[in-house]
Amino acid sequence: MEAIESKPLTTEKEKRLAARSRFYSLLAEAFRYPDEEFRQQARQGELKQAFAVLSGSLPYEFAVDENLTLPADLNNEDLDVDFIRLFDAGPGNPPCPLVEGLYKEDRKTVFKELILFYNNFGLSYAEGSMEDRPDHITYEMEFLHYLAFLTLTAEQRGTDGMGYLRAQRDFLERHPVQWMGQMAERIEKIRDNLREDANRDVVRFYHDLIHLAHRFVVADFEYLRAALAN
């Protein structure tokens, strides 16, 4: 999905809409394989600060209570190993998949519905690696970032953005809200039954990140449902 920009934010409503969009964008980036920039942001507390700042501008109350910080002296290899071990590798499926289809019985239906959502809003998808699956959490968060951005630009143009809000509500209800709670339960069990060779700080960090993401999609869905009911 291409990077998109809005006009300068001039009203409180625009700032609230932008905060929702940026929160989803930050979540999408946080679930990618950790590059050096991300590692430094997590070690220095910048990641948590970014989420906390955005939460203060959301159109509803949402506290960022999770730690979301990695130790300054964390070995890069430990981070790499446990990220892969948690989310990518292992016999069969990984212990805590970042893809929706592995939490559902009918993966093909999940794929078809997601691609239809994406295509309906002018986004094309070409299937590639596991990380490039349309049901990967990064893709779903990027899509919600995009829809929230379209709502913002509609507000700035003075046009009706209700269709974008309905699309966000429906997408959340049918996808992230349905499966991310299961992902949170998986990482909870992994943290509580930590294998001896696992790095506790890495598992704790991703436990907190997953729980933050799950809490946010549920809170955002409830906000949209209430807003569209009025």
Q: Which domains does the chain have, with CATH numbers?
A: 12-61+75-229 (1.10.3480.10)
| Residue pair 125/115 in contact by the 8 Å Cβ criterion | yes
Is the pLDDT at 16 greater than 60? The verdict is yes
Indicate the pLDDT class of residue 128, thresholds 50, 70 and 90: very low
pTM exceeds 0.85, yes or no: yes
| Residue pair 151/18 in contact by the 8 Å Cβ criterion | no
Instruction: Please tell me the distance from the alpha carbon of residue 25 to that of residue 9, in angstroms, as a whole number.
Output: 17
Q: What is the dihedral of CA 191, 195, 199, 203, to 10 degrees?
A: -20
Instruction: Quote the pLDDT of residue 2.
Output: 43
The CA R_g of the chain, rounded to the nearest whole Å, is 18
Q: Smallest Cα–Cα separation from 42: which of 184, 202, 163? A: 202
Q: Smallest Cα–Cα separation from 41: which of 72, 83, 76? A: 72
Indicate the pLDDT class of residue 93, thresholds 50, 70 and 90: confident
